């Protein structure tokens, strides 16, 4: 005798606020978020509730944007970028205790390369994060940052 799994549908929920001329490539999982004007959201992207995406920002496929993230305008988020809001401060996942989650703020004109991981930090305007980098600390000066942990490489 086989068990039947509980199936869930992905897709755009009614509580998403879209700006003008937004392009979304299905399948996606968007709910409770706000997406600015002229944005592009690629396939297999999840954007969770209370996320705010600025105007003209492009988010490529397989990216995960968790709660408590704000992304500015004119940004590029590469394929497979992962945003994190739970630092396992109690030695494991917060398990629904959102008071343990931390926020992330991405400025304007920020490009994040494919497969980067962004911990709960703040990134100023005019930053490029190299592919595969892991950002563990606030970035307060414009420039190019690479590595694990991401470090300053050069000015733009």
Q: Please, which pLDDT band fits residue 104 given cuts at 50, 70 and 90?
A: very high
End-to-end CA distance of the chain: 62
CATH of the domain at 150: 2.160.10.10
Alpha-carbon gap, residue 143 to 133, rounded angstroms: 14
The per-residue pLDDT for 131 is 98
Residue 3 in domain: no
Tell me the CA distances in angstroms from 95 to 46, 65, 90, 99, one per residue in order: 19, 18, 10, 11
Q: Minimal CA–CA distance to 63: which of 50, 48, 49, 82? A: 82
Q: Please, which pLDDT band fits residue 1 given cuts at 50, 70 and 90?
A: low
Residue 4 in domain: no
Alpha-carbon gap, residue 45 to 63, rounded angstroms: 5
Share above pLDDT 90 across residues of the chain, in percent, rounded to a whole number: 81
| Residue span of the structural domain in which 65 resides | 17-154
The per-residue pLDDT for 13 is 79
> Total domain count for the chain?
1
29-67 confidence digits (pLDDT tens): 999 999 999 999 999 999 999 999 999 999 999 999 999
């Amino acid at each position: 005798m086989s068990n039947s799994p509980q199936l869930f549908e992905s897709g755009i929920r009614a509580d998403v606020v879209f700006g003008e001329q937004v392009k979304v490539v299905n399948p996606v999982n968007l709910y409770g978020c706000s997406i600015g004007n002229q944005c592009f959201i690629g396939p297999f992207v999840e954007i969770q509730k209370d996320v705010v995406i600025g105007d003209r920002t492009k988010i490529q496929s397989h990216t995960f944007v968790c709660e408590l993230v704000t992304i500015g305008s004119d940004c590029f988020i590469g394929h497979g970028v992962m945003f994190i809001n739970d630092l396992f401060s109690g030695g494991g996942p917060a398990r629904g205790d959102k008071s343990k989650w931390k926020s992330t703020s991405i400025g304007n004109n920020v490009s994040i390369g494919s497969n980067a991981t962004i911990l709960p930090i703040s990134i100023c305007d005019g930053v490029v994060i190299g592919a595969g980098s892991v950002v563990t600390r606030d970035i307060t000066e414009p420039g190019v940052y690479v590595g694990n942990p991401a470090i300053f490489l050069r000015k733009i």
